[in-house]
A and B are shown apart, each in its own frame.
Chain A
């Protein structure tokens, strides 16, 4: 059914709309269009614009029914233009699941760094913890399952993989992602002294830079 229509607008209570998109690419495009229109002052006031994997939530809307009618008529470019920012994240590929991931990818462990750092990712959405971005851009054949048993503690800066996503843990938490590396200065991911505390905001493009193992 989805795929037939570019978007489906659902009601989430009295003040919110949840917009269903057919795929991650069109979700990113729709999200970028929302931000563009908000910046241009042509979007009615919305308290929160929260992208998900294949949805965008618009919360704190005074007249959701009117906005829903407008959204249905939008002509959204199929592909989100780059939003400008590219965040570079230096990574030492030394994670405890490196060998498991290499096996799943059918390569040698020492080749994981070059492979993982060869793509440009994009922050699809945030969640789980402040500053935790779910990054898309890993090709389908490289998607790996979560660990069977989650770890009770994943250290801050751990670089992990789960399903279609890769991510960096902004702080130590329990977690079930497959860990392949470490970001040396994870404090950059969430820094309340900055105007924008999150390094990885939705739409931001991300490159991982492999650090020399011997450095």
Chain B
């Protein structure tokens, strides 16, 4: 049978993701890539794939797939029930899926985004060096639909990580280490104290572009917009409503709202797994 996999159930939003396409921000191209990058890498290592091989990133409701030939998969990231042709299978470790059987990664029991990695990786055509779906600018494959057929790569022949790996639990509280700047001086001293002392909550309007928050607004020391400037991953932009937005992988490359601080990358993997309503605390770091 051909080395490909058919989408039986795409779930709420399932995209192809790898390490993304950094290096093109000056052309207006977002970096994209897996939001929970450590989860993608761990799933790939358990299969002997290149750590940054392309896999599927699901959103809350998982997805179901039917391989054309027998494949080994790992479902990791956000925990969820896993079945093969309706029979329970393991989450977080390699699972054998016979040719024509249906692998179903179900609705998450915690967190937001599960990763379905397949031995050999998903081998859709790369765009600017990456297979990632970029939801902001539309580069890479469209979000999956039922009936889509995805080509698979040849297994890399690396030694797979043995056995049960320690998957971090999705956060009950999201603690984000934040270094102030580059535009902290656009805010009052009180705003910075608020940012580091108040509890925010993850807004339901969050997506791959940014984690939006609800909480006390941050007061500006000066009005107006900045001339457009480059934005980094993890930048905490503060729009006119005063509620901080943490930029995730599909963030715009330039923007005009001031960035009060930048969240370090380890915090962003947790942010990828924080459902709406999760308490958020920014800590100096």
Show the binding face of A for B, using Cβ within 8 Å. Answer: 10-16, 18, 47-57, 59-60, 125-132, 134, 192, 197-198, 201-202
Contacts and interface: CB of A to CB of B under 8 A. Distances in A.
B228 A52 contact: yes
A11 B254 contact: no
Nearest to A13: B262
Contact of B29 (A56, A59, A130): A130
A173 to B, nearest CB: 10
B67 interface: no
Interface residues of B, number: 32
A50 B182 contact: no
A197 B129 CA distance: 12
B26 to A, nearest CB: 5
Pairs of residues from A and B, 8 with the lowest C-beta to C-beta distance, nearest first: A57-B230, A13-B262, A53-B227, A127-B254, A50-B230, A52-B229, A10-B182, A126-B28
Nearest to B185: A10
Contacts of B139: 130
A48 B228 contact: no
Interface string B16-31: 0000001111111100
A52 B230 contact: yes
B232 interface: yes
Contacts of A197: 27, 128
B232 A12 contact: yes
Interface of B: 22-29, 127-128, 137, 139, 179, 181-183, 227-232, 234-235, 252-255, 259, 262-264
Given A12-B259, A48-B230, 20 more contacts: A11-B179, A11-B182, A12-B182, A12-B232, A12-B262, A13-B179, A16-B232, A18-B182, A47-B23, A48-B22, A50-B26, A52-B227, A52-B228, A53-B227, A126-B254, A127-B28, A128-B28, A130-B137, A131-B27, A198-B27
Nearest to B22: A47
A55 B230 contact: yes
Chain B contact surface mostly = loop
B27 A130 contact: yes
B234 A134 contact: no
A81 to B, nearest CB: 19
A51 B26 CA distance: 7
A59 B28 contact: no
Contacts of B183: 10
Contact of B137 (A55, A129, A202): A129
30 contacts: A10-B181, A12-B181, A12-B262, A13-B264, A14-B262, A14-B264, A48-B23, A48-B230, A50-B26, A52-B229, A52-B254, A53-B227, A53-B228, A54-B227, A54-B229, A57-B229, A57-B230, A59-B25, A59-B232, A125-B254, A126-B28, A126-B254, A127-B28, A127-B253, A129-B28, A130-B139, A132-B28, A197-B27, A201-B26, A202-B26
